[in-house]
Amino acid sequence: MTRGEKGAQGSAGKLIKPTEPLFPKTPQQTVLGPQLTLCSKVCFAIGGAPKEVAASATAFFLQIYLLDIAQINAFQASMVLFIGKAWGAVTDPIVGFFITKSRWTKIGRLMPWMVGCTPFLVVSYFYLWFVPPFLSGRFFWYLGFYCLYQTLITCFHVPYSALTMFLSTDQKERDSATAYRMTMEVLGTLVGAAIQGQIVASAHTLKHCPIHNMSIGNLGNSSGAEIVKSLVRSQDYLSHSKEVYMIAAGVIGGVFLVCTVVMFLGVKERDDPYALRTEKQIPFYQGFILVMRHGPYLILTAAFLFITVAIQLVQSNFVLFCTYAADLRDHFQNIVLTILVSAVISIPLWHWFLQRFGKKTAAFCGITWIMPFTMMLVFIPNVVVAYVVAVSSGLSVAASLLLPWSMLPDVVDDFRLANPYCKGHEAIFYSFYVFFTKFASGISLGVSTLCLEFAGYDTGACKQPAPVVYTLKLLIGAAPVAFIVTGLMILLLYPISEDVRLRNKVCLDELRKQSISARTMEDLNSV
C-alpha cells in the first residue's frame, strides 16, 4: 500500500483519512457539486411514487383478491405470493449485475432501465388483476403474471434506488432528496390505498351475503329456491367485484405512466465528477464479495429485513383482519387511509428528527412506536381504537420507509472511503438490499397465507371459523412485534454513528478536492 492510501481506522475497519495528500493541493477553493433544485427533488420523488402506488394496492388487497375474487384456494394463493416474491428477490441481483455492465448514454446509465420497462410493467400489472374465464388454470395465470410483474418492477426499482447516489455528491442534498422521495412514496402509498380501497370497497361488503353463511358447506341449510337466489346474487356480485378491480388496475397503470414521464423530464443523472482519476470499474463478483464483507451493510440489511417483514405482515393481513376478525369491514378502507395520511404528515417530522438526533436514534424511536398499538387493536377491536391505532401506526410506517433509504447512502459512503479505488458498486448495494428484504417478505407472506389454509380458511364465505380469526390476530399482533424486537436488537450493532458519518463526509470531500487538484495540474501540464 502506498503512503497516500494509508489512513485512520474507522467504522468498517478501513476508514480513510489521508495523512498525506493523494495529489498535490492547489490553493483554490472547490465547490463539491451543484445544489439540487427544488424541481429536481420533486421530479425525482414523483418517479418513486407509482411503484409505491402499485405496491400499496398489492400489499393490502392482492391476498384477499386471490382468495375471494379470483377464488383460488389458500394454499395456491400462498404459493403465488411466495413464489412471486421469491422470484422478484432473485431478479434483484440479476438486474443489479446488468446495471453494473450498462454503459452511460445521453440520458444516463440508470434512466434507460426505468423508462424502457414502464410500458410492459403497466400491462403486466393490469393482467394481474384480471380474472380469466377458465377456472382450472387460474393458479398458473396469477403465478405467471405476478412473477412477470415482480421482474419488471425490479427493473424499475433497483436503478431508481441507486439513482440517489447519482443526484449529488453532497450528503445533505442526498438526504434532502431522500426525504422528498419518502414523502412522495408514502403519498403514493396513500394514493394507491385510496384508489384501490375506495374503488373496490363495494366488493367486500355484506350486501351479497344472506342470513346464513353462504359457503359450500352451508348450502344444505337453506331451501332450493333460497339457494338459487343466493347463487344468482353471488354471481352478479362477483362480476361486479371483478370489474371494479380491473378499473382500479387501469387507473393505477395510468398513474405509473404519468409519473415516469415527469421523472424523465425533470431529473438529470450525474456520475461523480470528483471521483479519483485512478478509479476503475470492478467486476461484479469482486464487488459482491466486498459488499458482503462490509459490516455496516450487513447489520443494516439484517435489521431492516426483520422490520420490513413485520410491516409486510400487518399490511397483507390488515384487510382480512378488519373483515373477519374485528368486524370493521365497513371501515377498513378509511382506516388504511388514516394510517397513510398520518405517515405522510410525519415524514417531515422524522426528517427533522434524524437531523437533530441522528438516524439510529430516529429508527429506534420511530419503529418501536407501532408495537403497543397493534396489540391494542388485537385486544380491543372497535372503531374508535382502530382509528387511534391508525394515527399512531402511521408514525412508525413513515420511519420504517424513510430510515433505511436514508441510512443506506451513508453505508455506501463508508464503503467508498474504505475502498477509494473501486467504482460501480452502488447497484450492488441497493439490489441486494432489496433482494434480502423482498425474499424475507415473500417467505412471510407465503407462510402467513398457508397458516390461514391450515386454520380452515373458507374461500368465498362471509364469515370465517374461529381458528382463522385467532390466526389473523396472531399475524397482526404478536408476530410483527417479535420481528420488530429482533430487528431493533440487531440495529444496536450498527456502527455508523453521527460522528462517524460526519467524519466520512469530511474525508470524502478531501479526496474529491485532491482529485480536482490533480486534474487541474494534469491539464496545466498538458497545455
d(CA 231, CA 234): 5
Instruction: Write down the H helix ranges in 65-167.
Output: 74-101, 111-128, 138-162
Q: Are 72 and 104 contained in the same domain?
A: yes
Helix (H, G, I), strand (E, B) or coil at 141: helix
Tracing cell 464503503 back to the chain, one arrives at 415
In the prediction, which pLDDT does 25 show? 39
Q: Are 59 and 186 contained in the same domain?
A: yes
Given a contact cutoff of 8 angstroms between Cβ atoms, the answer to whether 84 and 219 are in contact is no
Q: Are 250 and 328 contained in the same domain?
A: no
Q: Are 262 and 361 contained in the same domain?
A: no
Structural domain includes residue 92: yes
Structural domain includes residue 407: yes
Per-residue CA distances from 313 to 91, 166, 223, 310, 422 (Å)? 22, 33, 41, 5, 38
Structural domain includes residue 280: no
Global pTM reads 0.68
CA quadruple 99, 103, 105, 109: dihedral, nearest 10 = 30
Residue 478 half-sphere exposure toward CB, CA atoms < 13 A: 7
Q: Are 297 and 265 contained in the same domain?
A: no
Q: Are 447 and 325 contained in the same domain?
A: yes
Structural domain includes residue 211: no
In the prediction, which pLDDT does 333 show? 75
d(CA 299, CA 397): 20
Helix, strand, coil shares, percent, the chain, to 5: 75, 0, 25
Structural domain includes residue 520: no
Residue 488 burial (C-beta neighbours within 10 Å; 0-12, 13-18, 19+): middle
- Provide the residue range defining the domain that includes 257: 44-203+239-273
d(CA 319, CA 314): 9
**DSSP 8-class letter at 110:** S
For every residue of 216-272, which 3-state class applies, written as one string? HHHHHHCCHHHHHHHHHHHHHHHHHHHHHHHHHHHHHHHHHHHHHHHHHHHCCCCCC
d(CA 133, CA 239): 11
d(CA 153, CA 268): 21
Tracing cell 496545466 back to the chain, one arrives at 524
| Per-position DSSP letters for 411-443, written without gaps between them | HHHHHHHHSTTEES-HHHHHHHHHHHHHHHHHH
Q: Are 269 and 318 contained in the same domain?
A: no
Tracing cell 379470483 back to the chain, one arrives at 70
Per-residue CA distances from 92 to 53, 203, 465 (Å)? 20, 34, 39
Question: How many domains is the chain partitioned into structurally?
Answer: 2
d(CA 37, CA 46): 14
Q: Which CATH number characterizes residue 410's domain? A: 1.20.1250.20
d(CA 45, CA 30): 29
Helix (H, G, I), strand (E, B) or coil at 37: coil
Tracing cell 443506506 back to the chain, one arrives at 408
Given a contact cutoff of 8 angstroms between Cβ atoms, the answer to whether 44 and 165 are in contact is no
Residue 467 burial (C-beta neighbours within 10 Å; 0-12, 13-18, 19+): middle
**pLDDT averaged per 10 residues, the chain (length 527):** 40 42 38 70 88 86 86 88 87 82 79 91 93 88 94 89 77 78 81 82 61 44 47 65 89 91 86 49 74 89 90 82 81 80 84 87 88 84 85 85 85 82 71 80 82 83 85 89 93 88 82 68 65
d(CA 352, CA 235): 52
CA angle 282, 94, 106 (to 5 degrees): 65
d(CA 518, CA 351): 37
Q: How far is CA 152 from the centre of its chain?
A: 15
Given a contact cutoff of 8 angstroms between Cβ atoms, the answer to whether 343 and 401 are in contact is yes
Q: Are 315 and 456 contained in the same domain?
A: yes
In the prediction, which pLDDT does 347 show? 81
Q: Are 322 and 466 contained in the same domain?
A: yes
Q: Are 246 and 311 contained in the same domain?
A: no
Q: Are 150 and 79 contained in the same domain?
A: yes
**Who's near 423: CB < 8 A, 6+ residues apart?**
275, 279, 280, 281, 282
In the prediction, which pLDDT does 280 show? 53
Structural domain includes residue 388: yes
**Angular region, 267: left φ>0, alpha ψ -120 to 50, beta rest:** beta
d(CA 96, CA 162): 10
Structural domain includes residue 215: no
Q: Are 249 and 391 contained in the same domain?
A: no
Structural domain includes residue 392: yes
Helix (H, G, I), strand (E, B) or coil at 176: helix
